[in-house]
Amino acid sequence: MVEWLKNAIFYEIYPQSFLDSDGDGIGDFNGMIEKLDYIKGLGCNAIWMNPCYDSPFKDAGYDVRDYLKVAERYGTEEDLCRLFEEVHARDMHILLDLVPGHTSEEHPWFIQSSKRESNEYSGRYIWTDSWFQRAEGFPYIAGECERNGAYILNYFKCQPALNYGFLEPKESWQKPIDHPDCAATRAAMKDIMCYWLAKGCDGFRVDMADSLVKNDDEEKSGTCRVWRDIISGVQEQYPDVALVSEWNNPASAIGMAGFQMDFFLDWFGNGYNFLMRDYDDSGRDDSFFKKDSKRSILDFLDEYLPKYEAVKDKGLYCLITGNHDMIRAAYNLEERELKLAYAFLFTMPGAPFLYYGDEIGMHYQHLPCKEGGYTRTGSRTPMQWDNGINCGFSAADSKMLYLPVEQGENIPTVAGQEERADSLLHMVRDILAIRRNHAAFQDHANLEIVCASGKQRSFAYQRGSLLMMCNPSGQEEEIDLSGMAKKTWNKLYEIGTGTWREDACVLGEQSFVIFSCEPDCI
């Protein structure tokens, strides 16, 4: 485990929408530098920045045209390197977003690969043997290139899949993992990672990390094999590289592939989805942290715990408030519900990830698609700093903005919540300070579920010397603690109320309480 990850608290920045420093309507590197003290003041000591590479932006930068060049909209490479330096000057760290499974169709590799004549890049992507041969079982494109073949896609039409091979090749055009063409792809990805690590970044969040090897098995053993080779090669030069996978299978990502962190992602009908975004077709939300929900915490724990237990001594299974692919949590959760959800997320094992704007409860907006965002576009709007022009995001004319800022009254802003002592922003700072200052939260293998059942909404869990209890419901509930060892518990933090009665704790409606049984401050 990389040492600084033990106490890492991440802040995700969508660069287009964070802060525009030059008045062109798009966020940039210098805008991020201006707000580093704000991020650190929140309690975050690490940043994950969404892709900043040269791109035609058909998928918001996840269609990379040049991995070794920054997009002009954000500034220069010198600006990015200064961002690295300013982050490190504050004893913080920063991850870039790596997109290893595909490039843009405008990438020079693909342009060369699509030529009729064989060349160094002919095998960099996955092509069938002729223009009329279908890539059965895969999305593919044919008829657009001079090369006699069809090529596989990794996601959108603009994203041809890089060639890492097939676990079990079944056609003549399918290469095994150890084929020289696949080895060349792995070597190229190692070179890209080392290039940016040499410039000063601390690691990578890896997009679609499980998508590399085709026809892989359920455990993704082929993709894990590829990652072990890539990661070990990079670690030979940069042993402290930090890597978090977009995978949602820590047994594979951490246990087999070699990542230090994996995300618990919001997939429809899974444990995370039940926590905060359990919408039905009518838009009704029955997620656990809704005051009137009927769910118990078991809907989350039944999926989370086996995955956590499988890797708790090997790496970090990380929880997120949201990200650029998800509807914002404030879409259906009120401020009190958000407070309880964040208190829970920020006191669980793994490195927590806070999506920009979630700390003030930024709203989801229903907007037309922008750069391949579709329904995700409404979660990518400009950060709302104050009540000034464009909510303090940009001095540009509103028509020039990357996306429109929210309109109307009572718009959440950083400035507005600074003035309110009971705001969500202050609550986030308080709970992150507690996490940062207590050793029990740095031991990621010490989670014990004290009380959780389908009979009541309240639950309790312990992390070393700290005991957390939560009641998201609209009525008082009592948690039976008679099975716990007798200790003296002192209240450390509370939202709402928590009162001890003999061998039980009575929690007021919508309450979250932290108790400590001994001093353990760092």
> For residue range 24-45, what is the model confidence (pLDDT) as tens digits?
999 999 999 999 999 999 999 9
Helix axes 221-237, 180-199, angle to 10 degrees: 40
> Is the separation of the CB atoms in 138 and 187 below 8 Å?
no
3-state SS class at 249: coil
3-state SS class at 38: helix
Mean pLDDT of the chain: 96
Domains and CATH numbers, the chain: 3-102+184-436 (3.20.20.80), 103-163 (3.90.400.10), 443-516 (2.60.40.1180)
Going residue by residue through the chain (522 aa), what tens digit of pLDDT does each one get? 899 999 999 999 999 999 999 999 999 999 999 999 999 999 999 999 999 999 999 999 999 999 999 999 999 999 999 999 999 999 999 999 999 999 999 999 999 999 999 999 999 999 999 999 999 999 999 999 999 999 999 999 999 999 999 999 999 999 999 999 999 999 999 999 999 999 999 999 999 999 999 999 999 999 999 999 999 999 999 999 999 999 999 999 999 999 999 999 999 999 999 999 998 877 788 999 999 999 999 999 999 999 999 999 999 999 999 999 999 999 999 999 999 999 999 999 999 999 999 999 999 999 999 999 999 999 999 999 999 999 999 999 999 999 999 998 889 999 999 999 999 999 999 999 999 999 999 999 999 999 999 999 999 999 999 999 999 999 999 999 988 877 888 999 999 999 998 889 999 999 999 999 876 655
Give the pLDDT of residue 392: 98
Beta bridge partners of 20: none
Between CA 107 and CA 125 the distance in angstroms is: 11
CA distances from 505 to 2, 461, 476, 486, 512 (A): 38, 13, 11, 13, 12
If one counts every other C-beta atom within 10 angstroms of the C-beta of residue 212, the result is 31
Give the pLDDT of residue 222: 98
List of residues 6+ apart from 144 with CB closer than 8 A: none
> Is the separation of the CB atoms in 174 and 156 below 8 Å?
no
Amino acid, res. 44: C
Give the pLDDT of residue 98: 98
User: Exposure of 170 by Cβ count < 10 A (0-12 exposed, 13-18 middle, 19+ buried)?
Assistant: exposed
Q: How far does Cα 76 stand from its chain's mean position? A: 25
> Is the separation of the CB atoms in 158 and 63 below 8 Å?
yes
> Is the separation of the CB atoms in 466 and 440 below 8 Å?
yes
Give the pLDDT of residue 501: 86
DSSP 193-216: HHHHHHHT--EEEETTTT-SSBT-
List of residues 6+ apart from 352 with CB closer than 8 A: 9, 10, 318, 319, 320, 321, 345, 346, 435
The alpha carbon dihedral of 404, 406, 409, 411 has a sign of: negative
Between CA 160 and CA 151 the distance in angstroms is: 7
3-state SS class at 458: coil
Give the pLDDT of residue 68: 98
pTM listed for this prediction = 0.97
Report which of 223, 219, 187, 184 is spatially closest to residue 206, judged by C-alpha positions: 223
> Is the separation of the CB atoms in 474 and 292 below 8 Å?
yes
pLDDT above 70 coverage of the chain, percent: 99
